Amino acid sequence: MNTTTRFHIWYWIAAFMGLMLFQYLFVTSQQTAQIPYSQFESDLKQGKIAEVAVSDRFIQGRFKQPQDGRSMFITTRVEPDLAAELQQHGVVVTGAVESTFLRDLLSWVVPMVVFAAIWFFMMRRVNGGLGGGLMQIGRSKAKVYVEANTGVTFEDVAGVDEAKDELKEVVDFLRDPKSYGRLGGRMPKGVLLVGPPGTGKTLLAKAVAGEARVPFFSISGSEFVEMFVGVGAARVRDLFTQARAKAPAIIFIDELDALGRARGLGAVAGHDEKEQTLNQLLVELDGFDPTTGLVLLAATNRPEILDPALLRAGRFDRQVLVDRPDKTGRIQVLQVHLKKVKLAPDVDAEKIAAVTPGFTGADLANLVNEATLLATRRKADAVAMADFNNAVERIVAGLEKRNRLLNPREREIVAYHEMGHALVAIALPGVDPVHKVSIIPRGVGALGYTIQRPTEDRFLMTREELENKMAVLLGGRAAEQIVFGHLSTGAADDLVRVTDIARAMATRYGMTKRLGHVALDRDRRSFLTPNELAPQPQEREYSQQTAAMVDEEVRRIVDAAFERTVGLLEKQRDTLERAARRLLEKETLDERELAELVRESKQPVPRERVV
Binding site, annotated residues for ATP:
195-202
Cis peptide before 215 (omega within 30 of 0): no
CA distance 326 to 124: 49
- Return all residues near 553 (Cβ < 8 A) that are at least 6 apart: 502, 506, 512, 514, 515
Is 608 catalytic? The answer is no
Decide: helix, strand or coil at residue 305.
Answer: helix
Q: Is 514 exposed, middle or buried (0-12, 13-18, 19+ CB in 10 A)?
A: exposed
DSSP assignment of 174-240: HH-HHHHTTTS----SEEEEE--TTSSHHHHHHHHHHHHT--EEEEEGGGG--SSTTHHHHHHHHHH
DSSP codes of every residue in 513-574: TTT-S---S---S-TT-S-TT--------S-HHHHHHHHHHHHHHHHHHHHHHHHHHHTTHH
Which residues contribute to the annotated binding site? 195-202, 417, 421, 494
Asked if 145 contacts 218 with a C-beta cutoff of 8 angstroms, the reply is: yes
Q: Which of 524, 518, 555, 554 is nearest to 539 (CA)?
A: 524
R_g of the chain, CA atoms, integer Å? 41
Cα separation, 440 vs 446, in Å, equals 9
The answer for residues whose C-beta is within 8 angstroms of residue 391's C-beta and 6 or more apart is: 367, 370, 371, 374
How far is CA 60 from each of CA 32, 100, 205, 394, 519, rounded to the nearest angstrom? 9, 11, 78, 87, 106
Catalytic residue among 223, 418, 467, 553: 418
Of the candidates 78, 71, 95, 67, which has an alpha carbon nearest to the alpha carbon of residue 37? Answer: 78
Could you give the strand order of the β-sheet that contains 143-145, starting from the edge strand earlier in sequence? Answer: 143-145, 216-220, 249-254, 294-300, 190-194, 318-321
Contacts of 229 (CB under 8 A, 6+ apart): 271, 273, 276
DSSP state of 26: I
Q: Are 42 and 23 in contact (CB under 8 A)?
A: no
Distance between CA atoms of 249 and 243, rounded to whole angstroms? 6
Q: Is 301 left (phi over 0), alpha (psi -120 to 50) or beta?
A: alpha
Residue 145 three-state SS: strand
Q: Would you state the torsion angle of the CA atoms of residues 82, 86, 88, 89, taken in this order, to the nearest 10 degrees? A: 150
Q: How many CB atoms neighbour CB 28 within 10 A?
A: 10
Question: φ, ψ for residue 39 (rounded to 5)?
Answer: -65, -35
**Residues involved in catalysis:** 418
